[in-house]
Each structure stands twice: as structure tokens, then as C-alpha cells.
Structure 1
Amino acid sequence: MNIFGFNKKQDYSAKEILRQLDKCAEDFTFPMLDNGYVYPIHTKMSAYRDEKRWALIIEVIGFNYRGGGHDGISNCLHIFGNCIDTKPGTDNANFLYITDNSADNSTFDEEYLESLNPKAKTMLLRGKELSINHNREFYLNKGIELEEEDKIFVWEFMRGLEPEYNNELEATEKEIRERIPSDLPKIMELTEWYHPECADSELPSKNETFKQIAKVLETGKTEFYKPTNEPNNHWKNWPDGGTL
């Protein structure tokens, strides 16, 4: 258990943390998992703190159909804290593009860049070749309902990479430390949690998860994270994501 001076006066409070998260939610820079433009694929949250500093990073891997193809696949880092160089929330510099065509064929259809190219056998994930699975049963067995009978959409294909390729989808330690202090200790990491319904104007300060995580950050005591709600951050719980 990571404990950092519970009895000492902090340079920040849970209330201040939640105030920052709420402001970002109001400014639409806090993760909205049912964002109408982005099909959610995978999420991760990491918390960092010491006596004077805190940071919280929420990664949202998704497919934005307005980008199309590889330009639409990204890991969007939402970064909060009192020791970051950027404005809390996210900006263009916090989008990680992690896929590309391999040498054999274009990964996606060249007209709309929204479905797998039937001729593509491999693509690049973080520079390494990855075999492309065109077997429809593979996706159905993972609980991925395919929308069309004759194609596999980008977001369906990417969801098929879970959980085997989660590490490659997530940010590397180098990418994280380029954005927060290199000496700031990590206190918590989650891939499952109960996320607020931002589209219905639910603020982080009214959400059990973030109220508890703010307390963990304030005190350094991870036992303050005691969720009673079932996790809902999996893409299956946000059917409106990407459907605008």
C-alpha cells in the first residue's frame, strides 16, 4: 500500500481535484464515453501523487469516423493535475496515433476508410506487424455484433484486439512521462471503473469513482477506493458512442 504522509498538510485537496475535473467536464474535455463521433474501444486510468503534486490520466482508445482509417484510430490522453504543462483535459498534442498500413495492402477500404480491406493480411500496431482477422465468427465469439453482412468496420476490428493487445493500445511509460513529471509516483491503475454519464450532465464530483479517487490522491491511501457500483467503462455500455 502506498501511503504518503497522511498526517501532513497537503498542498492540494480532494475538493480542488474534483473542481478541476468538473470544470473540464463542463468544457467537454473530460472523457465522454458516449461521444457521438467516437466509437469507444478501450480505456485505462492512472493516478499519480506525492505531497505537493497530483496527476490523473484517463486514456480513451477509440475510432473517430471523421478522421477515417488510421487517422481515426487514436489513444486520446485526458490529463489532469497541478503539475502539468498543458491545460487540464486534452488537446491535439495528447492524441497518440498507433496504427498504420503494412507493406502488403491498405488496411481499410480506400473509398470510405471505414471497413477492413478484404485483401489486407497485416497492419502495423506501434510499428510491429499484426495479422488481420477476417473471420466473422472470431468477432461474434467476442461479443462483437457486426453491423453489415459483407464487411467488418474499423471499430469492430479494433474491438477484436481486446484484451490480447491492450498493452499496445495503451500509452507507454515514455509517452506518459513526457506529459507528467518523471519522478511523480504512481499510486493507482484501473482498467475497470464506474464512469459518469457526461452526456446527461453528470459531473465527476457527483460520481462515486471520482469522489473516491480524489480522496486517494489527497491522502495517499488507496483504501479510500471502495467502489460499490459495477464497472461500466467497457465499450458495450456506451452504444451511442460514434453513432452521430
Structure 2
Amino acid sequence: MKAKEILQELDAYTEDYNFPILDNYNVDLAQCRITVFSDKEQWLIVFEIVGIDINQEITTNLYIYSNVTRQRGLLTGIDDIVTLENKENWYDDEGNFIVNPFHLELIIRGKKVTLNPEKTEYIKLGINTEAFNLTKLLRYLNSQYEEELWLTIESVKLELGESIELPQFYQSSEWQHPDISDGQKPSGSIFFQSLSQAIESNNVDLIKSGESNTHWSNWTWSDFENQEEDME
């Protein structure tokens, strides 16, 4: 597989917005990760986008691109990553968020967690605790439980629904991601340029992450709460 062909494959999916858009109007971003599997001739790229979906649920969206899978693009959304320990819903009947930002009783990947963060912790992260919501909660958890919010490699392969045995080649949560909504494409990113070359050469040392912009703080303008303000 040539590097040029990999970039062409990735670019093609941006044309119908079937590629990770980090300032997505339908998902508030909390964290994202790329995992690459490759044996030089065969390759598989998986994106995990952890965030809040339009239904106000914490979810992981999986996007896959490959020369060995039947399915490509957005594959699935996985819910129930984080739930409340004592309640079923995040909101009451009037639509008010019922979680106290300074006392959190949660279940993360099946593990009970109790946290009592102070206001200064939120401020340090750039999170305003007034009008607290699910997006702010998940972004706080990103600072404390980032590793627990990812899927295991075994879970990722299980979600693919296809028997693919490729070695893991690369993984990162920091890279230069194109602004798809502004017309940018993977082929214009130094990260994806070097990643495709690395896959072709089977040499991970060729990868250059570029100026990383994958932290959620870079993609907040399309947040649901900002959309609501624009409508007022």
C-alpha cells in the first residue's frame, strides 16, 4: 500500500463528512485517540471519539479506515462508559442536570468512583462550574480518568465484527488534526502525511505528530451550550 493511496482513501471520507470532525455539532468532544494496526501491506486506522452526543449521552464513536475491512467510516457508538451510581438519568423531569460538580458518585467502566473536586480544579482546567452539564463533567473526568475512558484493544477489535489479525503499529491521543468543517483534509496535515509514509515503510519513527490540536479545549465553539446561546 502506497502512502499516496492511504491519503486518498482518508481524504475521500471527508467529502461526505464521514471522518472525525472534532468541532462536531452533534458531539461535544472530551478526548480522542488514534490507533493504527499494520503489517505494511495491510493497514487499519481506528479513531476513538469520546464525548457527549446529541441525545445527551456519554458515548465513544468509532471511525475506521482500512484496506482490509468491509466497513469504513463511522462504525458505531458505544454508550454506558460512565453512569451515575445511584440514579438512572443525568437530568430530572424538567431537564435540569442533577449532578453536584463538587461531589461525584459515578461508575466508570464498571468501577465505582467517588470524587470531591474543588472549584479551583475546574478553573485550572478551563471549566466553569456554573450551569454544570454533562460535557463539563466528562471533560473533568478526562483530566482524572483518561485511560479508563478508552476502549481496550480487544474491545475495539470486537466492535469491528471482522476477524482481522494485524499487529498494533501506533497509538496516540496527540496529533495535528485537520479542521474538516473548514475544508481541510488529512493529506494537508503533516501528521497524516508522515503516518501514511510510516505505514508504507513499516517504520513508526517516520511519524511526526505536528502541532497537536486534539485537546478538547481547541474545539469548543460548536458545544451544545454555545449553540443554545446562538439561538437565543
Q: TM-score range by the shorter chain?
A: 0.7 to 0.9
**Cα distance, 1:117–1:23 mapped onto 2, change above 3 Å:** same
Q: Distance in 2 between matches of 1:112 and 1:85?
A: 44
Q: 2:127 — aligned with what?
A: 144
Q: Say whether 1:89 aligns with 2:99.
A: no
Q: Structure 2 unaligned runs (5+)? A: 228-232
Q: Distance in 1 between matches of 2:69 and 2:116?
A: 40
As a proportion of its length, which structure holds more strand? 2
Q: Distance in 2 between matches of 1:18 and 1:204?
A: 7
- TM-score, scaled to structure 1: 0.82
- TM-score, scaled to structure 2: 0.86
What one-letter code is carried by the residue in structure 2 that aligns with 1:81? S
The Cα of 1:13 is off from its aligned counterpart by 1.3
Deviations 1:166-209 (A, max 9, x none): 12211112212222655201111111111101110101111111
Q: Distance in 2 between matches of 1:77 and 1:111?
A: 31
Deviations 1:23-66 (A, max 9, x none): 111121111001122211011111111143100111111112x2
Q: Distance in 2 between matches of 1:15 and 1:230?
A: 22
- The SS at the match of 2:143 is coil
The farther-off stretch of 187-196 and 111-120 is 111-120
**Cα distance, 1:38–1:199 mapped onto 2, change above 3 Å:** same
Kindly report the root-mean-square deviation, in angstroms, between the aligned alpha carbons of the 2 structures: 2.2
Q: Say whether 1:161 aligns with 2:141.
A: yes
Q: Structure 1 unaligned runs (5+)? A: 1-11
* Residue of 193, 206, 218 corresponding to 2:200: 218
Deviations 1:77-121 (A, max 9, x none): 1111011231x1113xx211112232x234622236573433974
Q: 1:131 — aligned with what?
A: 114
Q: 1:75 — aligned with what?
A: 60
Q: Distance in 2 between matches of 1:145 and 1:152?
A: 7
- Asked if the contact 1:33/1:241 (under 8 Å) is kept, the reply is no
**Cα distance, 1:207–1:181 mapped onto 2, change above 3 Å:** farther
As a proportion of its length, which structure holds more helix? 2
Q: Say whether 1:235 aligns with 2:201.
A: no
Deviations 1:127-148 (A, max 9, x none): 22122546433311323234x3
Q: Distance in 1 between matches of 2:40 and 2:188?
A: 25
Percent identity between the two aligned chains: 26
Q: 1:9 — aligned with what?
A: none
- Asked if the contact 2:190/2:208 (under 8 Å) is kept, the reply is no
Q: 1:189 — aligned with what?
A: 171
Q: Distance in 2 between matches of 1:220 and 1:114?
A: 51
